[in-house]
Chain A
Amino acid sequence: MSDTLQKSSDIDLDKRPENGRATAIKSRLTSWDSIILVLTVLVLIVASFSVENFGTSRNFTFMVLDLLPIILIALPMTMIIVTGEIDLSVASTLGLTSSMMGWLWNQGLSIETIIPLCVVIGAICGVVNGFLITGLGLPSLAVTIGTLALYRGLAFVVLGDGAVADFPWNYTGWVTGTIGGGAVPNVLILIVVLALIFGIVQHATPFGRSLYAIGANAQAAHFSGIRVARTKFWLYVVSGAVAGLVGVLWTLRYSSARADNGSGLELAVVAAVLLGGVSIFGGKGSLPGVLAGVVLLTALQNALRLEDVSGQALNIVTGSLLVLSVLLPNITTAVRGNYHRRRLRQAASR
């Protein structure tokens, strides 16, 4: 009896047209993007008052430099995860381009040639991923775990255990420097420009719209004339190219080309994207949420480090945060659903 009642109330719940602007605003406010945005601002405010040196311009510069690789790689990663796929090879692509950069520099090429070449190398890594996934129809998780190992291995083949460090100071200086010696790091411009471009593409173009359709229902997207495979292919190419660019920036920041640069970074990126409210199953998520997620993670780590919290404890905090980010939205929808159902049941029994 209660079984049938529950079923009918489910249907009612589904069919009920939620009307009015008030509910629109309410749902906007309780969406995960906004929660994470508020949380991020809160962490920044609390940390700048309670953590010594957190609010200094020097620390701000460091934080932005720490953000840089995660945030840039997260831009295409968000799109990829929205389509229901994943790219775990990004950090290895970064390592491979870093190695190539060192090797090419040793060959005597000019840095002006090397930088675009490295971006192209990253893009080629993406082409390989894209072909295996969309051309041969292999699952992206398996493919990019494979190329994660493959590209890192190639990085070691290229450069071995050594490091190349003698990059021109005007380039390394630009990456670590600030605008006019002030508080705003040079790379922040890069972050802002790229985030704007990716944000616009994802949220205000037909291409961006198609990503959500693909992630939510690839078959319906196909029936609507969207080229599913081609779209995914280009996402992997862009992801590779961005990873290549980050490989360059990483090398210049530490003035050191090494094969193991950025290892493990892919997990930080995926963690940040999921924390930002993107569904691992595809079809849901926004870039502002992801940006907030990256800032939250980095700020929290930075503040804890300033408080001399150990590395292990840091991992515990980021890990818990990630689990919570997946758990909380589920709990809130479950609670909301229960509340609705109870009300409907009361209405029915009356």
Chain B
Amino acid sequence: MAEANARPQKADAHNDPPQTNDPLPQANDEAKVANDPLPGASGQPQEASDRPREASDRPRKTAANTQLARLEVHDVSKSFGAVAAVQGVSFPLYPGEAHALVGENGAGKSTIVKMLAGVHRPDTGTLRVDGADVDFAGPADAKAAGIAVIYQEPTLFPDLSVAENIAMGNQPLTKLRQIDRKEMHANAERLFRRLGVPLDPTRPARGLSIADQQLVEIAKALSSEARVLIMDEPTAALSAVEVERLFAVVRSLRDEGAAIMFISHRFEEITALCERVTIMRDGKHVATEMVADLSVDDMIRRMVGRDLSALFPKQDVEPGAVVLEVEGLSREGVFKDISFSVRAGEIVALAGLVGAGRSEVMQAVFGVDPYDSGVVKVHGRRLKKGEPRAAMAAGMALVPEDRRQQGLVMDLSIERNVTLPRARKLARLGLLFGGSERAAAETWTRKLQTKLGRLSDAVGTLSGGNQQKVVLAKWLATGPKLLIVDEPTRGIDVGTKAEVHRLMSSLAADGLAVVMVSSELPEVLGMADRIVVLREGRVAAQLTRAEATEESVMYAAMGQEVAA
């Protein structure tokens, strides 16, 4: 915890006076640069991506940090059911600093954000604002304490004007207690001038780019006098130019004394924007250090560096014939030019960050989602697109990511769920008799050692792990040649997880081809014969089991070169 309390040394060293009194010149200056999108956009992406590094080398003017932390997370823990999402995390956030929060998928970053936003309450530990303990009963409390959160996908009211969105819940009133539209617009205009962005306050929010929507959110945060700005992957959907413009605004706010918490998977952005970084792993705090003191390598290593004590029993199988071939699969704005193949007896993992397009690719392959171009072949025969039934007839099965929405019909009984994809095959003379359905359900739930009361109980009454077994039973009962599993062990307990892994391994040993989408690196490394890493909708790397390490997969997923 000693690291967590380390003050930003740079700021101490500079000992600059607070910039709060004179922030505008610099803000306008930067905004001007950023608002001129042409240099970066016109075929010189190099410049756009170089600019952040230049910026990081420039000495930073931060507010003096001799005062206490604006926001402090102190020994905070939060569990959801049996899953400990955050355990004993502490770090301070100082006024005038931009602080990065990094970690793998599921490291607990979002839980931290939600606690700071007042969405979740910590189980233990305290949050402090300006040294005083706070207890947020809801988002309104967090807002009142001066904390504003900007999400990846802004949540504006599309049919209201920009100014109305900014003033939402906080409208200036006339003497007759009616909304003072003139004042509202003037307010919005003042805020935009301060941010240096040329947005029209009277236009509707609908049709704004995501980048502009974020700027509106920031303006909204400023209008409520937020002093802590938390940005949860704000740049995920932005172009390089938009990112730079956003950063210009954020820097000017920081220099005015706001505390910024910035969550991103892109290291070049972290080095460009932030002074300090807090690294989390598996819900725990790993380190809080100066960005300048860490290389990207260090950061990645600390994000993933856990002991590989959890063993995954994938047996070595001599791969058989090619079962699935995906060639040049593309879907506008979702994924592009995806090619890979899977042999019988092989487990191929699709790795990558959340939002890299892994599930989308596999759902297109299975036919529940459409695709624009490309070919999916099973056993050399081309598959009709957008037709799950054709995929099923070709021997494909998909255990989807979202068990509750996609995998199961919660209100239906266990037996009905198990037999849903193959009711047609169980029917005799077109008729279904209760006995055959029950027998089929019985066989498969027993094979998977599902703990259940009666087969006629609604599947929603089972625990998460057993629900997952029902989904697996449902699809294994169809006798697939190719099994696609999307996050097969998400949200289930450790024991069931091991069972699922053993099952997948033995299925592969019996000649089943398996595609596994997983966000858990140990699972990917333990189970997969080959790993296809996706990044932003494209194949970033294909690694064999021998080549794959936590670092190499993460490098590929984050678009970094492998360090020599």
Q: Could you tell me the distance in whole angstroms from the C-beta of B389 to the nearest C-beta in chain A?
A: 5
Residue B463 is within 8 A (CB to CB) of chain A in the complex: yes
Residue A43 is within 8 A (CB to CB) of chain B in the complex: no
Q: Count how many chain A residues have C-beta atoms less than 8 Å from C-beta atoms of the other chain.
A: 29
Q: How far is the CA of A17 from the CA of B461 in the complex (A)?
A: 8
Residue B95 is within 8 A (CB to CB) of chain A in the complex: no
| 209-235 of chain A: CB within 8 A of chain B | 209-210, 212-213, 216-217, 219-227
**Contact present for B407 and A220 (CB under 8 Å):** yes
Q: Could you count the A-B residue pairs with CB atoms below 8 Å apart for me: how many are there?
A: 88
Given A17-B453, A18-B454, A209-B432, A225 and B421 contact (CB-CB distance below 8 Å): yes
**Contact present for B432 and A206 (CB under 8 Å):** yes
Q: How far is the CA of A195 from the CA of B419 in the complex (A)?
A: 26
Q: How far is the CA of A225 from the CA of B420 in the complex (A)?
A: 9
Given A18-B457, A220-B408, A225 and B392 contact (CB-CB distance below 8 Å): yes
Residue B215 is within 8 A (CB to CB) of chain A in the complex: no
**Contact present for A224 and B420 (CB under 8 Å):** yes
**Contact present for A19 and B421 (CB under 8 Å):** no
1/0 contact string of B432-469 vs chain A (CB within 8 Å):
11000000000000000000111011001111000000
Given A17-B452, A17-B457, A18-B457, A223 and B406 contact (CB-CB distance below 8 Å): yes
Measured between beta carbons, the chain B residues less than 8 angstroms from A209 are 416, 419-420, 423, 432
Measured between beta carbons, the chain A residues less than 8 angstroms from B406 are 219-220, 223
**Contact present for A15 and B388 (CB under 8 Å):** no
1/0 contact string of B387-407 vs chain A (CB within 8 Å):
011011000001010000111
Residue B430 is within 8 A (CB to CB) of chain A in the complex: yes
Measured between beta carbons, the chain B residues less than 8 angstroms from A222 are 368, 388
Q: Could you tell me the distance in whole angstroms from the C-beta of A216 to the nearest C-beta in chain B?
A: 4
Q: Could you tell me the distance in whole angstroms from the C-beta of A181 to the nearest C-beta in chain B?
A: 37
Residue B55 is within 8 A (CB to CB) of chain A in the complex: no
**Contact present for B388 and A205 (CB under 8 Å):** no
Residue B160 is within 8 A (CB to CB) of chain A in the complex: no
Residue A340 is within 8 A (CB to CB) of chain B in the complex: no
**Contact present for A18 and B410 (CB under 8 Å):** no
Measured between beta carbons, the chain A residues less than 8 angstroms from B421 are 224-225
Residue A69 is within 8 A (CB to CB) of chain B in the complex: no
Q: How far is the CA of A221 from the CA of B433 in the complex (A)?
A: 21
| Closest residue of B by beta carbon distance from A14 | B461
Measured between beta carbons, the chain B residues less than 8 angstroms from A200 are 431
Measured between beta carbons, the chain A residues less than 8 angstroms from B432 are 204-206, 208-209
Residue A284 is within 8 A (CB to CB) of chain B in the complex: yes
| 66-91 of chain B: CB within 8 A of chain A | none
**Contact present for B430 and A205 (CB under 8 Å):** yes
Residue A136 is within 8 A (CB to CB) of chain B in the complex: no
| 370-389 of chain B: CB within 8 A of chain A | 388-389
Residue A283 is within 8 A (CB to CB) of chain B in the complex: yes
Residue B41 is within 8 A (CB to CB) of chain A in the complex: no
Given A18-B453, A209-B423, A223 and B389 contact (CB-CB distance below 8 Å): no
Residue of B389, B407, B419, B431 touching A204 (CB-CB under 8 A): B431
- Give A residues with C-beta under 8 Å from B: 14-19, 24, 200, 204-206, 208-210, 212-213, 216-217, 219-227, 283-284
In the assembled complex, 9 residue pairs joining A and B whose CB atoms fall closer than 8 Å, in A order, are: A15-B463, A18-B457, A204-B433, A206-B424, A213-B409, A213-B420, A222-B388, A224-B420, A225-B389
Q: Which 7 residue pairs across A and B have the least CB separation, nearest first?
A: A17-B453, A206-B423, A225-B388, A217-B409, A216-B411, A225-B389, A224-B420
